[in-house]
Amino acid sequence: MIINKNLVKAAGYNPTKESRQKSIFEMCDLIEKGEISLPLYQRDLSWTLKKSIELLNYQLLGKSPVSPISINVINNIDEAVPQVTFIDREIVTNIVRGQNSVVDGQQRLTTNYKAYINHDDFKTIVLDLGKGQFVKFDEQPRPNQIPVGILLNKDDSVLFEYAKEHRSLNDPQAINILLQVKNKMKSYNYTINQAIDLTEDEQIDWFEVLNNAGSRVSIIQMRFSKLKAHGIDIYTQYTNIYKEKMYERGYDDFFTPQKTNVSYPIAALNPAYETIVGKEHNKNFAPMPSDTKENQLCNLCTENPEKLTKCFEITLGALDRALDFISEHNLKKPERVDYINYLLGYLVFHPQDIGDATTHKLIEWYNTVDFRNKSNSSRRKIFTELLNI
């Protein structure tokens, strides 16, 4: 009987025996020292403050452990995937043998690390002693609340100094429970599943098995994350700005579920891409999630990064004009992001000021267009017809 050699090799190797345990504070210390990093392809931070609070509460109150962290240990540094740091995503210039590269677990580790360093993003998260959990406050912490960045700070003296300055917390019972909470969170162990010297494709395969079973959105995010090697951070330079502009106008409900955080802003780049490369509009480049052109955008960056940043600039400018148009003409709040992205696309192709007659036609289009229960081909036709106004 012929038996495959790879099967024999696989049967003799049990990767679960490579699992280890590390405490939250141990991992935060390694992140701070640069010994734990992220592969360049990893997408940006996506967790909301609410999600981070849920993790902190689960670690404090949960009756079962948080799921494992998956790490690729880099021994062959000559063939290692480029690495970036946590939070600011700066390129790691000195990868050392034994470097821990996080394949899955960035959001959880970053949540704990932000508390560990008292990051500004977590200034509104507190442990409420009355409610017995972490919560978000709106104005100032109440006497029975302590900021998470103080409580879980890497420096124990920060907690004691804060308690001294706040009389309500400078009480033996309060100090005792705060120390118990801190010690529990410091020593909370994560299981670390380790692999050695995985290629980039092997790491992405591992990640995709752990998340969404190969969803297209996470693949898009990974592809764009790699643009950092060309000096482009699509998240800080574009997608985060796009979302903030939406949030400022009260359109934050467009970004749930998570996949829309990427697909909506990336789809909005299609009109700018077509104008930058000098193409007439192609019906398959409508500003809708089904038509995202990550390959073309990434290739454009490789050939000429300045052209991609120009796409960002044009699109964000048109987004401002589209949002102003809706506001200035007292139009109804859009039920879908398509109203905004399609109007944005029109303004990209028509950058000059529009006259009264065109304004009236655009208002009429906005008030009468219906995106519900439309096929992709129908939605593409809607955009093509819009451009002819």
Indicate the pTM of the whole model. 0.63
- Can you tell me the distance from the alpha carbon of 59 to that of 56, in angstroms, rounded to the nearest whole number? 5
In the numeric block, which tokens belong to residue 374? Answer: 């439309």
Buried residues in 295-312 as b, exposed as e (16+ CB within 10 A)? eebbebbeeeeeebbbbb
User: How would you write the pLDDT of the chain (389 residues) with one tens digit per residue?
Assistant: 777 777 666 676 666 666 789 999 999 999 999 999 998 877 777 788 999 999 999 999 998 889 899 999 999 988 888 899 998 888 898 898 999 999 889 999 999 999 999 999 999 999 999 999 999 987 788 889 999 999 999 999 999 999 988 888 888 888 999 999 999 999 999 999 888 888 877 877 776 666 654 444 456 666 677 777 777 888 888 988 998 999 888 887 776 545 456 789 999 999 999 999 988 899 999 999 888 888 888 888 888 889 999 999 999 999 999 999 999 999 999 988 999 999 999 999 999 888 999 999 999 999 999 998 888 899 999 999 999 99
- Cross-strand partners of 100: 36, 73
pLDDT (0 to 100) of residue 222: 65
- For the chain, list the strands marked E by DSSP: 20-23, 36-39, 69-74, 83-84, 99-104, 125-128, 133-136, 145-147, 189-196
Residue type, 91: I
pLDDT (0 to 100) of residue 293: 87
DSSP-assigned letters across all residues of 134-178? EEE-SSS--TTEEEHHHHT-SSHHHHHHHHHH-TTT-SHHHHHHH
pLDDT (0 to 100) of residue 360: 95
CA gyration radius, the chain: 25
CB within 8 Å of 147: residues ≥ 6 apart: 118, 122, 123, 125, 126, 141, 162
- Can you tell me the distance from the alpha carbon of 83 to that of 39, in angstroms, rounded to the nearest whole number? 4
